[in-house]
Structure 1
Amino acid sequence: MSRPPLNSPHDPAAPGNDGQGTAPNHSAGASGGDQRPVGIVVISIVVVLEALALLTAAALYTYQLVIGAPVASFWGAVFTLGLLLAFSAWLFAVGHFLFRGYRWPRSAALVAQLFVLTIGFPTMTGGLLLAGLAMVVPALAVIVFLFSKRVISFASRTGGSRSAL
């Protein structure tokens, strides 16, 4: 379990922290309070939309299985459906916890965007330009935002300060 550094903005004794485990916000808002960086909001929205796309694909896949569409292997199709559902749940968790300011979803979001790029570029160069651009442009935007200073400083929450045992 990693611990935040001493005198960090996540320290419950630090001024401005309510001790409730909420992640700090580092850009001052118009009301004088702290706000999430725009990059965090954009990344979270893109990742949740990708999760919804996978969930939609799983629903269509389920429909095709129910109506008896021909498949090479029924259990292979069930396994693929399970993967779609698992990855969708994973992306929902990544979007949620990144929005809350945790550290671990940054790398998960990066990996997800690299997977999207590996599908988006061949789609774009294979003649489906709009579908490819719909995958590549948001993925590149997320990657750029993931490495911005504000996103990195906001998404540095490690979790609770309680010991594991």
Structure 2
Amino acid sequence: MSRPPLNPAHDPAVPGDDGQGTSHNNSAGAPGGGQRPKGIVVISIVVLLEALALLTAAALYVYQLATGAPVTSFWGAVFTLGLLLAFSAWLFAVSHFLFRGYRWTRAAALVAQLFVLTIGFPTMTGGLALAGLAMVVPALAGIVLLFDKRVIAFASRTGGSRAAL
């Protein structure tokens, strides 16, 4: 009888690890059984709320188009609606996989926060201070937390052998 090959990347001496890359220690649901930093949770929630805001904007956009709001170009409106829905779906995916600890999501979350800042600052200085602050403050908090060493250490998962979806 032969033994299964050992993977040197996984130490079987780690409690709860079966040596096959699956940890049975569900203390925090984190990759490798480590603790999920609070920064990851905060950033994931910020990105999730941004995705929900875009989805709400898309729903209002559909309502206005259905009730006969004047548009210059019907196909331009359809394109804008498609962009709102696509970016919302992208942010939902970023939030989910950032919470799980995937490396690629840090860059995606950073770019999303920079986009929010480019809309939030003009909104704030253009007379809508509360709406601008509602965009700028979470985006700045997300950017700062993305560079926290615990967040960087946690979000270093590359995918491994299992499918991401």
| TM-score of the pair, normalised by structure 1 | 0.83
Structure 1 SS opposite 2:70: coil
Matched to 1:121, the amino acid is: F
Give the corresponding residue for 1:3: none
Give the corresponding residue for 1:29: none
For 1:160 and 1:17, the matched residues in 2 are separated by 19
For 2:89 and 2:158, the matched residues in 1 are separated by 21
Give the corresponding residue for 2:36: 36
2:76 equivalent to 1:81:
no
2:110 equivalent to 1:110:
yes
2:21 equivalent to 1:23:
no
Give the corresponding residue for 1:13: 11
Give the corresponding residue for 2:48: 48
Give the corresponding residue for 2:4: none
Matched to 2:22, the amino acid is: Q
The 5 Å alignment of 1:143-158 reads: 143-158=143-158
> Superposition RMSD on alpha carbons, in Å?
1.9
For 1:20 and 1:65, the matched residues in 2 are separated by 49
Matched to 1:20, the amino acid is: T
TM-aligned CA deviation for residue 17 of structure 1: 6.5
TM-aligned CA deviation for residue 16 of structure 1: 4.8
For 1:54 and 1:144, the matched residues in 2 are separated by 23
8 Å Cα contact 1:17/1:24 also seen in 2 = no
For 1:99 and 1:51, the matched residues in 2 are separated by 15
Q: Tell which has more relative contact order, 1 or 2 (C-alpha 8 A, sep 6+).
A: 1
Matched to 2:32, the amino acid is: P
Superposed CA deviations along residues 98-129 of structure 1, whole A, max 9, x for unmatched, are 00000000000000000000000011111111
For 2:94 and 2:143, the matched residues in 1 are separated by 14
8 Å Cα contact 1:24/1:154 also seen in 2 = no
| TM-score of the pair, normalised by structure 2 | 0.83
Question: Can you give the 5+ residue segments of structure 1 that lack an aligned partner in the other structure?
Answer: 1-5, 26-33
Matched to 2:63, the amino acid is: Y
Residues 16/80 of structure 1: CA separation in 2 closer, same or farther (3 Å cut): farther
Residues 74/160 of structure 1: CA separation in 2 closer, same or farther (3 Å cut): same
What is the number of equivalent residue pairs in this alignment? 146
Which is higher, the Rg of structure 1 or of structure 2? 2
For 2:110 and 2:16, the matched residues in 1 are separated by 29
Structure 2 SS opposite 1:71: coil
TM-aligned CA deviation for residue 40 of structure 1: 0.1
TM-aligned CA deviation for residue 74 of structure 1: 0.3
2:71 equivalent to 1:63:
no
For 2:98 and 2:50, the matched residues in 1 are separated by 14
